[in-house]
Amino acid sequence: MSYGPQDGLPNVDATTPAVLVLPGPVTRDQVPRLCADLCARLESSGAGVVVCDVAGIGPPGLATVDLLARLQLAALRAGGRIRLRGPDPALRALLGLVGLALEVEGQSEEREPAGGVEKAVEPGDPAV
């Protein structure tokens, strides 16, 4: 079965998150523009989540933590949230150290058990 051409825009799944690629080292002057860009993507996508690709952001430092905290705050004020894609292990450790709990793409939430993980039973453990 075939359909003829249709006028207008194709259907887009509103749950598909927009992606914001964060450039190499970010300066304080770039933060307001990135926050505005994030809010615009939240509004245009309608998904409520913007994926922030941090793979190329460079070595993590407090400036990176400050940027991510401001992006999360801007997203929350706009009624959404951010999710990180490709964070360096050092960045994840630094975020944990400062207490900034951000969702990471491909990571299960704390209240959800990770798929396919079973509890190991050691010999001699009491039956529950």
Domain range annotation of the chain? 18-104
Query: With 80 as the cut, is the pLDDT of residue 9 above it?
Result: no
Average pLDDT over residues 56-67: 90
3-state DSSP call for residue 59? coil
**Residue at token pair 């999710």:** 83
What integer pLDDT is reported at residue 13 of this predicted model?
47
What integer pLDDT is reported at residue 119 of this predicted model?
60
Task: Report percent pLDDT > 70 for the chain.
Answer: 73
Is the Cβ–Cβ distance between 49 and 104 less than 8 Å? Answer: no
3-state DSSP call for residue 21? strand
Per-chain mean pLDDT for the chain? 82
65-79 CB burial, b ≥16 within 10 A, e <16: bebbebbbebbeebe
What integer pLDDT is reported at residue 47 of this predicted model?
83
For 83, the token pair is: 């999710």
Can you tell me the distance from the alpha carbon of 71 to that of 52, in angstroms, rounded to the nearest whole number?
Answer: 9
For 98, the token pair is: 């400062």
Q: Which pTM was predicted?
A: 0.71
What integer pLDDT is reported at residue 7 of this predicted model?
57
Can you tell me the distance from the alpha carbon of 84 to that of 94, in angstroms, rounded to the nearest whole number?
Answer: 14
Query: With 50 as the cut, is the pLDDT of residue 44 above it?
Result: yes
Q: Which fold has domain 18-104?
A: Transcription Regulator spoIIAA (3.30.750)
How far CA 116 is from CA of 107, 112, 120, 123, in Å, comes to 13, 12, 12, 22
What integer pLDDT is reported at residue 15 of this predicted model?
61
Phi, psi of 12 (to 5 degrees): -125, 130
3-state DSSP call for residue 69? helix
